[in-house]
Structure 1
Amino acid sequence: MTNEDKSFNLRLHNALYLMKKNNMWESNYAPPLYKKLWKYGVQIPPPPFCPFWLNTLTFGFFFGMAWGGVMFVLTISISSFSNGVILYYSILAGLLFGLVMAAFHRWRKTVNRLPDWDDL
C-alpha cells in the first residue's frame, strides 16, 4: 500500500466518521455505487466531499446507463423509438439526474458544515 493509498484511506475514514457523527444517512454519504467503487480501488471522495462536476459525472453516467438500458428493454417492441432517440433521452436523463444529485450533495455539505476534502 502506497502513502497515497494510506492518505486516501485515512481521509475516507475521517470523512465517514464525521458524516456519521453529524447524523447524516449512510445512503447519502456512502451510497452503494461509491461503496462498490471504493471496493474496486477507485479513489473517489464521498459525495459531499466531491467536486460538483465529479458528482454530476458519476451519478449522471451510471443513471444514464441504467435509464438507457431500461428504455431499450421496454421499447424494444415499439418501432417508433430508434436507438438514437433512446441514447438522446438517456444522456439527457443522466445529465439532469447528475445535476440534481450534485446540487443535493453540495447542499448537504453546506448544511452539515463539512470541511473540504483537502482539509481532512
Structure 2
Amino acid sequence: MTFQEKLRHALDLCQDSKIKSYDYQPPLYKLLWRLGIEKAPPHFTGFYENWISIGTITGIPWTLIMAAPGLFQDVSRSDFFPLLVGGCCSSVFYGYLMAKRCERQAKRFGIPLWKDFFPPE
C-alpha cells in the first residue's frame, strides 16, 4: 500500500470521527503532502513528534514574521535577540499545546499510531 492510499484511509477515519478537518488536515501538512513529503497526519503520530514538528512548522514562520520589521530598520543585535527568543518560546509553547490536543483527541476517538495503522486494502 502506498503512502497516499494509507493517508486517504487515515483521513477517512478522522472524517468519520468528530474531529474537525482543519485539525487532522492542517494547511501546512497539506502543503507538505503536495510537496511529496510523507508526513503522517498529526493524530497518528506521538506526542513528542507532534510537539517538535508542529512547533517547528509554525515557529519558524512566526519568528520570521516577528523579526521582519527589524530587518528593514536599523536595529542592533541586542534589540533583535528578544524577538528571536520570543519566537522560539512561542513555538515551543504552541507546539506543546497542539501536541497535547492531538494526543487527547486521538485517545478519545481511538486513532492508532501511524506504525500500527493497517487499513483494509
Fold-level similarity (TM above 0.5): yes
Separation (CA, whole Å) in 1 of partners of 2:50 and 2:111: 16
Separation (CA, whole Å) in 2 of partners of 1:51 and 1:99: 12
Separation (CA, whole Å) in 2 of partners of 1:87 and 1:107: 30
Secondary structure of residue in 2 paired with 1:82: helix
Contact 2:44 2:106 in 1 (8 A): yes
After superposition, residues 1-120 of structure 1 pair within 5 angstroms as 6=2, 8-74=3-69, 82-118=79-115, 119-120=117-118
Identity %: 26
Contact 1:11 1:117 in 2 (8 A): no
Point out where structure 1 has 5 or more consecutive residues left out of the alignment: none
Give the 4+ runs in structure 1 shifted more than 3 A.
73-81
**RMSD between aligned residues:** 2.0
Q: Once the two structures are superposed, what CA deviation does each residue of 1:49-101 show, in whole Å capped at 9, x if it has no partner?
A: 01222211221112222322232235666968622221111111111110111
Point out where structure 2 has 5 or more consecutive residues left out of the alignment: none
